[in-house]
Amino acid sequence: MKKQLIPFIIKPKINKEQKARLNELINAFCEIDYDSAFSDMQYKYDPKQAEQEKRDIDYLDYHKHLQLSADDYPILCTIINSDKIYYSGDKFGAYLHASCALTDSKNLDVFPNLVNQLYRLDGLHEDWMIEIYPNLLSHFDVPVIDILIQTQEKVRYHTVKSSINTALQYIAEKEGKDSQAWQKISAFLSDELKNHATNSHYYNATIVSNMIDLGLVKHIETIREAYQAKNVELMYCGDIEDVEIKFGLRTERATEKKNHFKDFLRATAEKEGIENFDELMDNFIHQQQMKGLKTKPISQAVHDIKD
């Protein structure tokens, strides 16, 4: 069992009859196409996906397909809270489908179980969860804003905090700039960045990214202060000039643009004695672009290049 990283300590209890239903649902989930759950997570719950595009995809109705009811929710929570199922390999599909089914329910009682899954984030190893689990959390909309903020304030692990911030960002985008949700979330993100001196540079960069996506130009001074103090990882959103261009505050750079990601990896490679770095790096970036992947600020990429 991984060490709990967030405040929810959940130990669901089910009776003998529910255990029979548990096995039935695990088997049923495992018979469903494994990739369909990822498709749901990537598109069905993505707040940025156009509604027409969502309707054009034939999503699985879990409640209808498996005749799910509220009585099944504790069983679904048992599935997603099981490390045995999560790490089983052959039953991992049950974890994914159960997560989607609980999200479809939009039942606030099950929401802590979904937030609880973020404890599985150790570093950037579960990158699929970093990318798409915020979609699921944001699907519960305004009623979970306070839960997410309170949870975020209690955790110290910055990968978890940034995932929660992204879920909050998605909710704000769905509600619109004139909503109370937008105002509350934008103020929260700004307050988080004001703690840039005690935050990790990576975490500060993710907050800046959230603020850029929300167009929070009114908080530019807070962002500038974080950059001035050199407390923001430059690989994520670039330097302050890049940020100001994204906000429309300037049209061109005053200084020569740098490849911060490449500079970071070069320094890391030098420490590890990797030769021919520039050639290896160019090949790596080309491969990433061909795959349509966004380069991430992880030192492990040096080893990816080398291998």
Q: What is the rounded average pLDDT of the residues 238-261?
A: 90
Give the model's pLDDT for residue 73.
Answer: 94
- Confidence tier at 298 by pLDDT (50, 70, 90): very low
- Confidence tier at 286 by pLDDT (50, 70, 90): low
Q: Assign residue 141 a region: left if phi > 0, alpha if psi is -120 to 50, beta otherwise?
A: left
Burial code of 214-231, b = ≥16 C-beta within 10 A, e = fewer? Answer: bebeebeebbeebbeeeb
Determine the Cα–Cα distance for residues 119 and 283; give it in Å rounded to an integer: 34
Give the model's pLDDT for residue 185.
Answer: 98
pLDDT for residue 303 is more than 60: no
Q: What is the rounded average pLDDT of the residues 239-252?
A: 95
Percent of the chain with pLDDT over 70: 80
Q: In this predicted model, which residue has the larger pLDDT, 244 or 119?
A: 244
- The amino acid present at 252, given as its one-letter code, is E
pTM for the model: 0.82
**Cβ contact 185:172 at 8 Å:** yes
Q: What is the rounded average pLDDT of the residues 62-77?
A: 94
For the chain, the domains span: 1-145, 176-258, 260-307
Give the model's pLDDT for residue 84.
Answer: 92
